[in-house]
Structure 1
């Protein structure tokens, strides 16, 4: 098999996965994770069940891949924003959080999806292991972002960076879960998360910028 043929096959597989993920995202938004069947997702994407199972072992694996895609996209956005801040852009801790995090959930980061997958993980050992691995990967990304901010602005934290990152992730998770249970919308959840993160960062930072 030639390199061209192999490359074409890999590209088709990537396109198939992308369409399945996009379809799952749409179906989830309409009916929720429990009601979203493999058949509904395949029909929306225009593929057979065979195409689905050649890319994902189960519906749970598909949804875990979806939240990975959404979370990675959001963390990429945050990382770009962090590196684009000028040295004199931050006057206080609140400004720092607002500029770095922004609308942290965004239009494509549904807290309901993360909450539902977490609930499924409590009942499924294999999904639990995969979910914990996903959280570990996200925490590592957050650690890198924190390290960059600490170095760029000469900050000192009251906790090691890995513990601070875990605390930020835990607070984000708790905010998403509680706000979802309360039936709040994405914009309101984002505002609540920003508010909680502002207060938490104010506690974590030993030497906040002047005015913080």
Structure 2
């Protein structure tokens, strides 16, 4: 493959992903056509098929990119807080943040989930991507809680499932009733007591009694 094509491929792929998100959000996953995506991105069908085999593969690439971006963004926000100031309330405030652009992604991922519920093969593939996201969420949540001086008393991946359910269920209500329930409100209201109940303080590894060190 010519070097020029190799250099252009990441830009082409990025443009197709950006166009697909907009087209899926505007028309729905099932109604959106590959031609509409290509037209918005300014590429031919050939460019599409040199990067993706189907709309499903394109959505899953969007899913992975969105997951990585959200996790990285939260990590950056957590890292920006001084360790002495990072308690559960501060951590929950960061976890509850919802970007305005999240609405488009919510529309796209909700419709694809409905598609997957009807299609066993799509469900199986989506479940694999969901599982990788949960594992990464669990790993990051465990680390963020440790920075806040807490450790979980429940399985981290099961808690990740619950947090995703709260986020997605809350957003569904927020986008229907934005004036009554701003995005992130339920998390800000209830996650601190929930995480308090499901964690314990990390024990200080250094003995407070010098004599205890020799016991």
Using the size of structure 1 for normalisation, the TM-score is 0.80
Q: Is the 8 A contact 1:155 1:205 kept in 2?
A: yes
Measure the CA separation in 2 of the matches of 1:67 and 1:161.
Answer: 21
Over 3 Å counting, the alpha-carbon distance change for 1:64 and 1:32 in structure 2 is same
Question: Structure 1 residue 22: deviation in Å?
Answer: 0.9
Q: RMSD over aligned Cα, in angstroms?
A: 2.6
Measure the CA separation in 2 of the matches of 1:68 and 1:197.
Answer: 25
Structure 2: gaps (5+ residues): 203-215
Q: 1:173 aligns with which of 168, 172, 180?
A: 168
Q: Does 1:72 align with 2:73?
A: no
Measure the CA separation in 2 of the matches of 1:183 and 1:61.
Answer: 32
Structure 1: gaps (5+ residues): none
Q: 1:50 aligns with which of 46, 49, 62?
A: 46
Task: After TM superposition, list the pairs within 5 Å mapping 1:133-172 onto structure 2.
Answer: 133-172=128-167
Could you tell me which residue of structure 2 aligns to residue 123 of structure 1? 118
Q: Is the 8 A contact 2:134 2:160 kept in 1?
A: yes
Measure the CA separation in 1 of the matches of 2:128 and 2:184.
Answer: 24
Q: Does 1:59 align with 2:55?
A: yes
Question: Structure 1 residue 120: deviation in Å?
Answer: 0.8
Over 3 Å counting, the alpha-carbon distance change for 1:166 and 1:183 in structure 2 is same
Over 3 Å counting, the alpha-carbon distance change for 1:179 and 1:195 in structure 2 is same
Work out the number of aligned pairs and report it.
200
Measure the CA separation in 1 of the matches of 2:169 and 2:99.
Answer: 14
Over 3 Å counting, the alpha-carbon distance change for 1:196 and 1:138 in structure 2 is farther
- Higher RCO (CA 8 Å, separation ≥ 6 residues): 1
Could you tell me which residue of structure 1 aligns to residue 208 of structure 2? none
CA offset digits 1:6-28 (Å, max 9, x no partner): 4x433222111111111111212
Could you tell me which residue of structure 1 aligns to residue 184 of structure 2? 190
Using the size of structure 2 for normalisation, the TM-score is 0.79
Measure the CA separation in 2 of the matches of 1:105 and 1:123.
Answer: 30
Q: Is the 8 A contact 1:61 1:127 kept in 2?
A: no
